[in-house]
Amino acid sequence: MYRSNNPYRPIETKVLEVITETPTIKTLKLKPKEELTFETGQFIELTVPGAGEAPFTPSSRPAVKDTIEVSVMRVGKVTERIHSLKKGDTVGIRGPFGTGYPMEEFKGREVLVVGGGCGFAPLRSLMYEFFEHSGEFKALFFRGGCKTPKDFLYKKEIEGWAKRDDLDVMLTVDEGDGQWKGNVGVVTTILDGIPMDHKKGVAVVCGPPIMMKFATKKLGELGFKDSNIYLSMEKNMSCGLGKCGHCRIGTYYACKDGPVFRFDRIKKFPNIWD
Amino acid sequence: MAAYLISRDNFLNLLGTLQKDYSVYIPLKKDENRFFTRFKSDEKDKEDGHIVFGEVRTVEPLKVFYMRSRERVAEGFKDELPSTGAKPSCIVGVKACDLKGFQVQDRVFRDDEYKDPFYIREREENLIISADCTCAIDTCYCLALHVNPYPQSNYDINISEVSGGFVAESGSEKGEKIIAGNASLFSEAGSNHLAERDAKRKGVVNEVKKNIRENRIPDQDVLEGAVERNYNAPLWKEEAAECVECGACNMICPTCHCFLMYDQQDAERMARLRVWDSCMVKDFAQVAGGANPRPELWMRLRNRFEKKFDFFPKFSDIYACTGCGRCITACPAKIDIRKVLRRLVENV
């Protein structure tokens, strides 16, 4: 719940660290002047003074209360400016906004997490939540894909995940290079044969729209129920309060009712993948 | 609620008194249109019939007083609301169609779990002196949306033109106080005045009914599910064929509430502004990467109708249209909401 008097003003925030993850993605470690807690899957609006704001889902652990991390792909005006930020710079944060992942729903069940490209960012925060409560889930699977091996966000960290006993990891790239020894192909090519009960299991998908569209289709073919598929619908969220109108999907606002949606709740609306 | 009588002169004196606490706006007629204009009590033209408290709605929707077309919503990292320094507004001659707009705007900005402090400030501080319509123009169809052409709620004082002045009724505590505080300007309305008011109301109702009949405008009772049923109908492409994407239909609409926020391009004096936005404009829903759920103009026209006649009734049990007919007049491409609604229910 948002607690500011003026919901449009950002909280003053320091940039503590800027990490270059891939040629197009940087991660910012941020320290807001006021405590800001979020639930995994909720998003924030990040302001660059003089440039404007844009929505991002934190990629850090919700349990960490004094700092917050976002991974930002350079795609437009504001993200261009974010990429030029340096340690010590001042930015602003509004939020958190929206409805994140329903962690309680996942407990006691087999969970498959499917990520693509920059979609790893919200999913890393989700994975931290899973690890934090390890043992409360029946089984965890992570399937991730990127364009090329150099596009992998959190590469080192995910290599660490692969060694965990409580997680089954498999990665793929659309296009390999000399060193890549894993699967080559889009993410749907590594979704077959996962040792879980598809009819009862939960799937979480986050990535570019085209990837989510085909991954969701594939999950349906594998036997996942629409009501067990959770998608991150990152629309043009601006005010974060369900007022400015830009992010409406059918009868919902992505900024309030989402960005995480159960597929069965939005599947009937047209153009959800665009 | 008791009904009072106030003469036109006394009413103008009352507006003069209200100027102490409010910026008073009255509907002034220019050619065939009415515009909200700042009231000046020393003005001579209050004599010559330019002020029209009755007649029909103004060109501008009432929302101009509740969310400015451009306003500052944040300065730096300060939590305080930027002050406009302006007195609250007293808006006179507001019509019932515009008051219905409040049902939509209130739901979004005031009654939602997230509050908009700017709207709430205006809503609490402004004063509404509404008025009965004394005629209809050919674009009026309020009754189709179950709005009568005379105010029944959401006003502080309502006036109805009768011989000898106006019948005045308060609709809020604020209105009641103003009447009590200026008691010498009012007398008790007689049953003859009330009978005259009711007869006039009936006359205007009949005019609007005639409009609805002649233009075959569907009643909102038959609109349920109409947009959904016609989702893939050819009518959207046909109706959007002449659209020039100007957004006038959104700007002029008393229920449209969408806005765009942008920051002043000055990192030292950080300020955030918001302006009215239009869902008819191509980049409205587009994201930074370029993806756009409504790349075609006809999809955006369909979306506008979906928002008003499908989303809003599902979201809040009201149709986000007041029957004011402003969008019909404003559209340079002559896209006519009455025709679109007719096509939705007649499947033509």
Assess whether B209 and B252 both reside in one domain. no
Assess whether B31 and B138 both reside in one domain. yes
Residue numbers in B near A2 (CB within 8 A): 114
CA separation for the pair A110, A203 (Å, rounded): 9
Assess whether A124 and A171 both reside in one domain. yes
Chain B nearest C-alpha distance from A53 (Å): 8
pLDDT in tens, A12-58: 999 999 999 999 999 999 999 998 999 999 999 999 999 999 999 99
Tell which of B214, B231, B250 closes a domain.
B214
Identity of the residue in A209, A242, A256 whose CB atom sits nearest the CB atom of B291: A209
Assess whether B195 and B83 both reside in one domain. yes
> Which pTM was predicted?
0.94
Assess whether B318 and B204 both reside in one domain. no
Assess whether B57 and B35 both reside in one domain. yes
| Residue A118: domain span | 103-232
B265 touches chain A (CB under 8 A): yes
Residue A246 counted as domain residue: no
Given a contact cutoff of 8 angstroms between Cβ atoms, the answer to whether B249 and B46 are in contact is: no
Which pLDDT score is estimated for B283? 94
User: Are the beta carbons of B272 and A8 separated by less than 8 Å?
Assistant: yes
- Widest CA span of chain A, in angstroms? 55
| Residue B200: domain span | 3-214
CA separation for the pair A158, A142 (Å, rounded): 10
The pair phi, psi for residue A219, each rounded to 5°, is: -60, -40
What CATH code is carried by the domain that includes residue A73?
2.40.30.10
Count of structural domains, chain A: 2
Interface probe for A, chosen from B66, B114, B120, B311 (most Cβ of A below 10 Å), is B114
Which pLDDT score is estimated for A1? 43
CA separation for the pair B98, B36 (Å, rounded): 13
Assess whether A61 and A115 both reside in one domain. no
Assess whether B181 and B283 both reside in one domain. no
CA separation for the pair A82, A52 (Å, rounded): 10
Residues near B335 by beta carbon (within 8 Å), at least 6 away in sequence = B239, B240, B242, B243, B249, B301, B327
In chain A, which among 38-57 make CB contacts under 8 A with chain B? Answer: 47, 49-54
Identity of the residue in B262, B287, B299 whose CB atom sits nearest the CB atom of A236: B287
Residue A274 counted as domain residue: no
Chain B nearest C-alpha distance from A196 (Å): 34
Tell which of A97, A121, A141 closes a domain.
A97
| Residue in the structure block whose two tokens are 């944040």 | B74
B259 touches chain A (CB under 8 A): yes
SS3 B71: strand
Chain A nearest C-alpha distance from B342 (Å): 23
Assess whether B283 and B267 both reside in one domain. yes
Chain A nearest C-alpha distance from B320 (Å): 14
Tens digits of pLDDT across chain B (348 residues): 689 999 999 999 999 999 999 999 999 998 899 999 999 876 555 555 689 999 999 999 999 999 999 999 999 999 889 988 889 999 999 999 999 999 999 999 999 999 999 999 999 999 999 999 999 999 999 999 999 999 999 999 999 999 999 999 999 999 999 999 999 999 999 999 999 999 999 999 999 999 999 999 999 999 999 999 999 999 999 999 999 999 999 999 999 999 999 999 888 889 999 999 999 999 999 998 888 999 999 999 999 999 999 999 999 999 999 999 999 999 999 999 999 999 999 875
Residues near A163 by beta carbon (within 8 Å), at least 6 away in sequence = none
A209 touches chain B (CB under 8 A): yes
The DSSP output letter for B154 is S
Q: What is the number of other CB atoms lying within 10 angstroms of the CB of residue B191?
A: 8
